[in-house]
Every structure is written in C-alpha cells, then in structure tokens.
Amino acid sequence: MVTASDFRNGVTIEVDGKVCQVVEFQHVKPGKGAAFVRTKLKDIINGGVIETTFRPTEKFPQARIERRDMQYLYNDGDLYNFMDTESYEQIAVGSDVVGDAMKFVKEEEMCKVSSYNGSVFAVEAPLFVELEITETEPGFKGDTATGASKPATVETGATINVPLFVNQGDKIKIDTRTGEYLSRV
C-alpha cells in the first residue's frame, strides 16, 4: 500500500478501480486547516488526466505494471503478433491497443509491451528505426532551398517528409515518436 504522502512522479496506483500514474504531486500545508496532497494522475489504460486532492494518510494499492521487451513478428489483419524472446511465448494485440505505434516498425524489431494483470494496454516502438525509401520523387539540381522537403514512402508503407537530396533506395533514420526524418544511414 502507498500513502498519499509517499507519492512520487511515476508511482503507479489503483484509484477507484482505475490504474493511474502520478504525473505531478504537491504537498500543501495551508496556514489554517489540514494538510493535503494535490496530484495530477494519468489513467494509463485510456490516457485521461485527472486532477484531484487527497489527505496525506489515504492509502492506495500499488499497481504492478509489467513492461517486457518483445519481438514484433507480423501483422494479421487487425492483430499484431509479438513474441517473448526468452520464453518464446506469443501474444496477439489488437490494432485498437497498438494505434499508430507500429507504422515505422518492421518485422523482427524489438518493442516494449506494457500489461496490467495480464492484459496488454500499450505497445511502445523503438525510439529510432532505420528504414529504406521505397518510393519518392527525384530531387532536381538547383532545387536546394533551405528546409525544402518532399514526401517519401518507406518500406513499412508509412509516408514522411524528407529533404530533397534523399533518393529512392536510400536508408534513413526516423524518430518514431514524431515521425520525422533524422539522417541518412
């Protein structure tokens, strides 16, 4: 059990049947009246943010979140299949849980799969990936204005903006959080 006076950023607790992570907390001791803890909690299942206050003596059960490195195997319609590389256990995760996290991830890449009580609620792609450009317009000589870019399709099927000097067949590095081009490899 975790008391409200023990809150720290990143602590995961169960509040009113919801699994929440402490994003911000502040211990307040007004001149008049009892002390309280003002918190900002993020519901890790649906992503909503709750602002609330607690008495410092209130107790909450600590939620155990399991984050495992798993290898992405393949996409089967609405299901994304992952394998634990230690136990070779395979799981299938629905596209509603995965969201846009997998649009830059190739098969056999490692991802972080987060679960609570055995049910998967989030998949995190690696921060940076290296992909090959499969389709893009050729850049024209003299077309080199600062910051100019063109659309390009990578081998996973996602489309991003790249500088004019990048050509079809080039390998590039992409930040999966923002979907931005970083450099050629």
CATH at residue 100: 2.40.50.140
Final residue belonging to a domain, choices 12, 40, 60: 60
Q: What is the pLDDT of residues 129-183, one digit of tens each?
A: 999 999 988 866 665 556 678 899 999 888 999 888 888 889 999 988 888 899 8
What's the whole-number mean pLDDT along residues 13-26? 89
Asked if 93 and 115 sit in the same domain, the reply is: yes
* Domain end (from 124, 139, 156): 124
Shared-domain flag, residues 138 and 154: yes
Range of the domain at 142: 128-184
Per the structure, the count of domains in the chain is: 3
Instruction: Using pLDDT thresholds of 50, 70 and 90, give the confidence band for residue 47.
Output: confident
Same domain, 137 and 116: no
Q: What is the percentage of the chain residues whose pLDDT exceeds 70?
A: 95
Number of Cβ atoms within 10 Å of the Cβ of 141? 7
Quick: pLDDT tens for 100-129. 878 888 888 999 888 888 888 888 888 899
Indicate the pTM of the whole model: 0.70
On whether both 145 and 116 belong to a single domain, the answer is no
Same domain (yes/no): 51, 34: yes
Residues 46 and 70 in one domain: no
